[in-house]
C-alpha cells in the first residue's frame, strides 16, 4: 500500500484551537474518515495477499486478517452513523450557538445518547486494534518477508496511530463540547 500522509492535528493537544465544532467535524471527516475509507480496502487486500503468500508458514496471519476485517467493517458502519446522524446534529447545535440557526429538534432525547453509543464503538475499535498490535508482535514483520510485504505492517501501525488520534479527538474534544453546547442551549 502506498504510504499515506500523516494527518496534522491542530487541536489534539490544544482543544481550544477547535472553537468551531462545525470545523472540527469537517476536519474529522476530511482527515480521519477519508483516511479510513482509503486504508481499509487497501490493507484488506494487502492482508489477503500476505495470507495467500505466507499463511502456510505464518498461521498468525489468519487471525490478523480476520481481526482487521472486523475492525474495518465496524469502523465503516460507525463512520456512516456519525456522518449521517450525530455530526449533522452537532453542526446544528454549533449553528444555534452562533445564533445563525434556531435550536435544532433533538431526535435522541439528548445528544448524550448517540455520544454514548459512539464511545462504546470506540472502545470496541480500540480493543480490536490492541488485538492487532499483539497478534503482529507490535507490527514486526517476519524476517522472510519482502520489503513490500513488510510495508503492510508499517501501514497497520500507521492505521492504529491515526485511529487513536481520531478517537481521542472525538472523545476528548468533540463529544464533550457537543454535550456542553446542548446543555447551554437547552
pLDDT band at 42 (very low <50, low <70, confident <90, very high): very high
**pLDDT digit string (tens) for 5-24?**
434 444 444 556 677 899 99
Identify the sign of the CA torsion 77, 79, 84, 90.
Answer: positive
The contacts of residue 161 (CB under 8 Å, 6+ apart) are: 6
Planar angle of CA 104, 121, 26, nearest 5 degrees: 50
Q: Which three cell numbers mark 142?
A: 517476519
Mean pLDDT for 108-133 is 96
User: Model-level pTM?
Assistant: 0.88
Alpha-carbon Rg for the chain, nearest whole angstrom, is 19
Return the C-alpha cell found at 103: 435550536
Is pLDDT above 90 for 176? yes
pLDDT score recorded for residue 16: 61
What's the Cα-to-Cα distance from 34 to each of 28, 30, 87, 162, 163, rounded to whole Å? 8, 5, 15, 11, 12
What's the mean per-residue pLDDT of the chain?
Answer: 90
Give the CA diameter of the chain. Answer: 62
Answer for the pair 36, 64: CB distance below 8 angstroms, yes or no.
no
Does the pLDDT value for residue 1 go beyond 70? no
pLDDT at 15: 54
Number of neighbouring beta carbons within 10 Å of residue 127? 12
The percentage of residues in the chain with a pLDDT greater than 70, rounded to a whole number, is 91
Around 170, how many Cα atoms within 13 Å sit in the side-chain half-sphere? 29
81: its cell numbers: 452513523
What residues does each domain of the chain span? 20-185
Amino acid at each position: 500500500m502506498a504510504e499515506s500522509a500523516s494527518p496534522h492535528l491542530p487541536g489534539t493537544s490544544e482543544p481550544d484551537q477547535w472553537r468551531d465544532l462545525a470545523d472540527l467535524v469537517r476536519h474529522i471527516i476530511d482527515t480521519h474518515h477519508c483516511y479510513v475509507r482509503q486504508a481499509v480496502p487497501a490493507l484488506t487486500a494487502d492482508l489477503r495477499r500476505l495470507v495467500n503468500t505466507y499463511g502456510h508458514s505464518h498461521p498468525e496471519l489468519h487471525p490478523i486478517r480476520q481481526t482487521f476485517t472486523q475492525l474495518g467493517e465496524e469502523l465503516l458502519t460507525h463512520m456512516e452513523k456519525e456522518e449521517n446522524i450525530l455530526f449533522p446534529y452537532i453542526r446544528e447545535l454549533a449553528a444555534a450557538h452562533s445564533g445563525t440557526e434556531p435550536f435544532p429538534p433533538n431526535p435522541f432525547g439528548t445528544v448524550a445518547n448517540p455520544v454514548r453509543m459512539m464511545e462504546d464503538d470506540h472502545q470496541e475499535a480500540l480493543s480490536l486494534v490492541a488485538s492487532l498490535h499483539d497478534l503482529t508482535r507490535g507490527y514486526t514483520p517476519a524476517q522472510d518477508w519482502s520489503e513490500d510485504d513488510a510495508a503492510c505492517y508499517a501501514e497497520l501501525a500507521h492505521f492504529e496511530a491515526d485511529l487513536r488520534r481520531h478517537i481521542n479527538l472525538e472523545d476528548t474534544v468533540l463529544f464533550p463540547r457537543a454535550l456542553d453546547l446542548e446543555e447551554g442551549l437547552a
